[in-house]
Amino acid sequence: MQCKIVAEIGWNHMGDISLAKKMIDAAHLSGVDCIKFQTWSVEDLQPGTWDEDGRKEIYKKAELTRDKHKKLFDYCVEKNIQFLTSVFNVRHIAMLRALGCNQIKIASCESLNFDLLSACFEAFGRVYISTGGLTSLECLSLLDFIKPHSDKTTLLHCVSLYPCADEKSNIERMHMLKSLSGCEVGYSDHTAGCFIPYMAIAKGAAVIEKHFTIDNDLPGRDNKNACLPDVLKQICDFRDLHETLVENTTLERNTEEVAFEEFRGRWTQKK
């Protein structure tokens, strides 16, 4: 099975659908399989420091209405690319199902929200769950909860640092998640370049999620740290090459190597 590459646009569009479509176009040209957004409503936001530091206004501006969701979903269909979004509240599930979504993402910050997880398992055919920031005990609690749904769950190893230094990526945790859960596993990447996604692909990741933008100077912290189209294309190209190498595994030589026989024994005295 080929590794799925997900371009996490998230809220880098800041509510501008025209900009979001340009990002979809660029990600599509890079070779990704799936575009991901984030679904929230500011009216659901609980009190917090975001009320005082300007983040609430940013959330409000970047909020996707039902109509904007439909425009983005339809545009992905037009481009023959999968639409995915992170959901943070049970009440948005019906809207997403009506839209045609059959897969959903649970962000790391909601991975212990078992009410939300239960509703998503009931509503969607595939549930992606990021596991960043969890203690070992919290992780085991999550794995125990999802056990009845392992056939429709993809666990994404994630380090909730953004950006994340390569040496903190703890990529072997991906294998630990797989052995403990039996689920399909992947990697949600917060590092700056290609090397850690390359490692994850080579180690068998079913999914790679990478934060994506078309301009690091656009407003918002995520735009500043997200990868550009050339980096995303390099990851997609590596995925394709890796797939070819894995498929073409044999003990037999390449047919072109027959010419090598001419050199056998050329320095050895003939008897």
Domain count, the chain: 1
Rounded Cα gap, residues 83 and 100, in angstroms:
9
Is residue 270 situated within a structural domain? no
The pLDDT of residue 185 is 98
Contact 143, 181 (CB under 8 A): yes
pTM for this prediction:
0.93
The pLDDT of residue 271 is 65
The pLDDT of residue 66 is 95
Q: What is the CATH number of the domain that holds 178?
A: 3.20.20.70
Two tokens at 15? 């509510």
The pLDDT tens digits along the chain (271 residues) read 789 999 999 999 999 999 999 999 999 999 999 999 999 988 888 888 887 777 788 888 889 999 999 999 999 999 999 999 999 999 999 999 999 999 999 999 999 999 999 999 999 999 999 999 999 999 999 999 999 999 999 999 999 999 999 999 999 999 999 999 999 999 999 999 999 999 999 999 999 999 999 999 998 778 999 999 999 999 999 999 999 988 878 889 889 999 998 888 888 877 6
Is residue 253 situated within a structural domain? yes
The pLDDT of residue 157 is 98
Alpha-helix residue ranges (DSSP H) falling in the chain: 17-30, 55-62, 66-78, 93-99, 114-123, 136-146, 173-181, 195-202, 221-225, 229-247
Two tokens at 133? 């920031």
The pLDDT of residue 17 is 97
Contact 141, 194 (CB under 8 A): no
The pLDDT of residue 13 is 95
Domain region containing 98: 4-263
Is residue 230 situated within a structural domain? yes
Is residue 101 situated within a structural domain? yes
Is residue 209 situated within a structural domain? yes
The pLDDT of residue 116 is 98
Return all residues near 11 (Cβ < 8 A) that are at least 6 apart: 37, 38, 59, 62, 220, 222
Is residue 268 situated within a structural domain? no
**Nearest one of 207, 168, 220 to 191, comparing CA atoms:** 168
Is residue 141 situated within a structural domain? yes
Is residue 271 situated within a structural domain? no
